[in-house]
A = this chain, B = another copy of it.
């Protein structure tokens, strides 16, 4: 398929084949991955289809303030396979009540996914990668997950189960977004060790023809529950560098998450669902506000062609 500008493009990440980045043992606000990833043409039958491309990826993970010691329950990986693969999983915290570490499932899911990106059956299809990674995961627990894969034609394919998310910003405007899927408020679709969970068939599968200069923002709900889309757009405009942008977004999400008075996307959504402060507080003019304390994963990528 024709990508924008009549160019067909593929991003390949040359510095490593798979780069698995678990959130294990990460201190608060630690930088997970700061790298300028040089993407060069790979040997293919038609070199015109694979011009030289440069992708800059920056990722940040800030664990929940009460989960700093264990590094939180988010996990993610970045792979150089083909046009590049990025995935985020968010372990469902409710498992702690059953004495199960919620991080185990999300971390194993990401490990298995990272080892399956070059599986023949996956064949650039993020939904099949979700299916195979889920089937290969044996830990008890559950997680939301999002997987994006950039194919040889510059098409970014996305499979999403639950409330992790992805945004694409082009020329200062939001042009693409995933949407959270949930059973009810705060109960997202999730892959699980239990038979009753969602499967790859429940994934929303979307795609966008990417262009040089597109900024891709991926993250867990810890980002999107605390930062509005217009703030993501303005943060990108203010920084213009993925390293600084990812840091700024993670810091902004953290700042909002611990602010009891910030009227966050999460608190607005909660009020829209009928949740609010008790009537006597309402009578005093108060309303339900505040960010959502959570693990915060932010991955920012920029597509650049040479």
Contact = CB atoms under 8 A, between A and B. Distances in A.
Contact of A175 (B4, B173, B174, B179): B179
A125 B2 contact: yes
Interface string A239-258: 00000000000000000000
B173 A181 contact: yes
Given A175-B179, A176-B179, A201 B6 contact: yes
Interface residues of A, number: 26
A179 B230 CA distance: 13
A208 B201 contact: no
A90 to B, nearest CB: 18
Contact of A5 (B4, B125, B201): B201
22 contacts: A1-B125, A2-B128, A4-B201, A5-B201, A6-B201, A127-B209, A173-B179, A173-B181, A175-B179, A176-B179, A176-B204, A176-B206, A177-B177, A177-B179, A204-B208, A204-B209, A205-B208, A205-B209, A206-B206, A206-B208, A206-B209, A207-B208
A206 B207 contact: yes
Contacts of A2: 125, 127-128
Given A1-B125, A175-B179, A205-B209, 4 more contacts: A2-B125, A4-B201, A175-B204, A205-B208
Contacts of A170: 204
A6 B173 CA distance: 35
Contacts of A181: 173, 175
Contacts of A4: 201, 205
A170 to B, nearest CB: 8
A207 B204 contact: no
Contacts of A272: 230
A182 interface: yes
Contacts of A207: 206-208
